[in-house]
Chain A
Amino acid sequence: MPEQLVFAMEVFLNGLMAGVLYALVALGFVLIYKASGIFNYAQGVMALFAALTLVGIMEGQVPFAHLINAMLGTEIHHFGWHVPGVLAILFTMAVMVGLAWIVNTLIFRHLVNQEPIILFMATIGLAYFLEGFGDIMWGADIKKLDVGLPQGINLWIDETTFNIFDYGFFIDNLDIVATVVAALLVCALVIFAQYTKQGRAMRAVADDHQAALSVGISLNFIWVMVWSVAGFVALVAGIMWGTKSGVQFSLSLIALKALPVLMLGGFTSIPGAIVGGLIIGVGEKLFEFGFGPMLGGATENWFAYVLALIFLVFRPQGLFGEKIIERV
């Protein structure tokens, strides 16, 4: 097999893995958008906040340490304990549910029946508030996150491919874990949305707020639930990205990569978020591999957006988006 083709295959696989991570972020957007029509700009920041909180709890960091020290003249930074990963994840999840409740009670409850643009603006405000809040609460330094996920090159794949192609593929174990987790997450979410009572209520709320109210569905409950689930997805994304590249504020920028994923997959489709993520991941890696050198590199910065634009022109609802039902 020609060498170029083998390289391309490796790039393809790595693209798939990167795509899974994009998809994880995009999933959170889809959930909230589906249930409340809110495009949650803060989803990326939520992933960051979740990761910060997770590290903070694991390391026994004192929240608001800087603030407390400055006000009381003390010098505390750590409680002096370490919380095991699984337990810390549970605590962080509780924090995310709390956050969902606060966000809904303080902000979105008061914005029922408002224009989508107003809701969108509210989420932008929320995003930057949460970013600053995370900073004050846990500090701005880059943190290492290790909840015990396997990392580094997968030797089995390396050896197997070496035996076949005479060239060992580099696939990170973490990416494989991320893929499995994402697959499980999507299955769970689809089952939840399609086959459970609350999932059905969530889709009902998405279709028609007033009608949902009229049959006795509590909008507040559904929204807190959806924001909690989105918080959980953000936590998973935060763990994967944080483990990969450290917990830092640039994490919130990956949210922007989720935008082309959403345009491709459709804002309302859970499987669409995954497929969109994979297409973007593979597309940008292969494009960089094939045309990057010709175009001076760094095509990964813009390729996804161009692809998304082309899609918008020809299929505005995305690959899997709900058809806009219009009866004449």
Chain B
Amino acid sequence: MLDITEDPKDALLEVNNIEVIYNHVILVLKGVSLKVPKGGITALLGGNGAGKTTTLKAISNLLKSERGEVTKGSITYRGERVQDLVPSDLVRKGVIQVMEGRHCFEHLTVEENLLTGAYTRGSSRGEIDADLNMVYDYFPRLKERRKSQAGYTSGGEQQMVAIGRALMSRPETILLDEPSMGLAPQLVEQIFGIVKSLNEEEGYTFLLAEQNTNVALRFAHYGYILESGRVVMDGLASDLRENPDVKEFYLGMSDEGRKSFRDVRSYRRRKRWLS
């Protein structure tokens, strides 16, 4: 287990009190701060519309093409301000996002999809082939389907393609958005298992946005809980799992047995802002 300290020197990626506005009017993030340590799996949890995806897109700079912008705060990677870069610069720096809903290139074959991941690299064909084999080792299913059009593969396979494609850029940090979306529980376990081994064996750093709090907290080292654009709680994953509020609101467990929907409150207690 990774040792997380509060020392900012250990943070590879640091998001500092950012505010994000869409279309100049809609305030989506109201001051989100987080730290992603090197070699860890950090989870960003919260319900629909909490701002998980927006946070990831703010980091990867995909916001601009959706008319969103970071209006306050700063985002640094290895101590360097990165929020004014274009996505391709960030990919070259080693930060790549796997988007929610997979977003494969439908009409390209599985292998072509993976190859587009190596677009920013000036590497030789041999190096790229070696990485392709590395991806196939982690996702043997993709090797079988390498010649099929990605649009015709299953949801799980597409998620594998999306992750594999990101790996092909030789990243340091992978921003993984909602990998469990629309997948059967068994597949979710499998995908998370692969994420874990990629983290442990290859040393990739992950920042993971996930609604499935239960799974995410089992695989992650550290977690942040977002609610309507703010971080309301953070802590070691093991601590969060035992936290009575998290249990009640996100894991659906409570000391008083099952609750009806009437009793569900939004999480407002102990709200705090990280600076």
A→B interface (CB under 8 Å): 112-113, 197, 200-201, 203-204, 206-218, 322, 325, 327
Contacts and interface: CB of A to CB of B under 8 A. Distances in A.
Contacts of B115: 197, 200
A200 B116 contact: yes
A214 B151 contact: no
22 contacts: A200-B108, A200-B115, A200-B116, A201-B119, A203-B105, A204-B105, A206-B107, A208-B105, A210-B62, A210-B103, A211-B105, A214-B96, A214-B98, A214-B99, A215-B116, A216-B90, A216-B96, A216-B119, A216-B169, A325-B107, A325-B149, A325-B151
A212 B169 CA distance: 13
A207 B91 CA distance: 20
A113 B64 CA distance: 11
Contact of A215 (B66, B86, B96, B152): B96
A113 B151 CA distance: 22
A322 B107 contact: yes
Given A204-B105, A208-B105, 18 more contacts: A113-B67, A197-B115, A200-B116, A204-B108, A204-B113, A209-B65, A210-B65, A210-B103, A211-B103, A214-B87, A214-B97, A214-B98, A214-B103, A215-B116, A215-B117, A216-B169, A218-B86, A218-B88
A112 B65 contact: yes
Contacts, number: 84
B52 interface: no
A207 B66 contact: no
Contacts of B107: 203, 206-207, 322, 325
Give the secondary structure class of A's interface. Answer: helix
B96 A327 contact: no
A71 to B, nearest CB: 41
Nearest to B102: A211
Contacts of A216: 87-88, 90-92, 96, 119-120, 169
B116 A213 contact: no
Contacts of B10: none
Nearest to B162: A211
A130 to B, nearest CB: 27
A231 to B, nearest CB: 24
Contact of B105 (A112, A197, A207, A213): A207
Contacts of B98: 214
B160 interface: no
B38 interface: no
Contacts of B119: 197, 201, 215-217
B17 interface: no
A159 to B, nearest CB: 48
Contacts of A214: 60, 62, 87, 96-99, 103
B149 to A, nearest CB: 7
A204 B111 CA distance: 12
B135 interface: no
A215 B165 contact: yes
| A-B pairs, 7 with minimum CB distance | A216-B91, A325-B151, A211-B103, A216-B120, A216-B88, A207-B105, A204-B105
A207 B162 CA distance: 14
Contacts of A203: 105, 107-108, 112
A201 B169 CA distance: 14
Contacts of B166: 215
Nearest to B105: A207
Nearest to A112: B65
Q: Specify which of A200, A216, A322 lies most central, judged by the most chain B CB atoms within 10 Å of its CB.
A: A216
A197 B86 CA distance: 20
B106 interface: yes
A201 B121 CA distance: 13
B132 interface: no
Contacts of A209: 65
Nearest to A207: B105
A112 to B, nearest CB: 6
Contacts of B66: 113, 210
Given A113-B65, A215-B91, A201 B116 contact: yes
Contacts of B97: 214
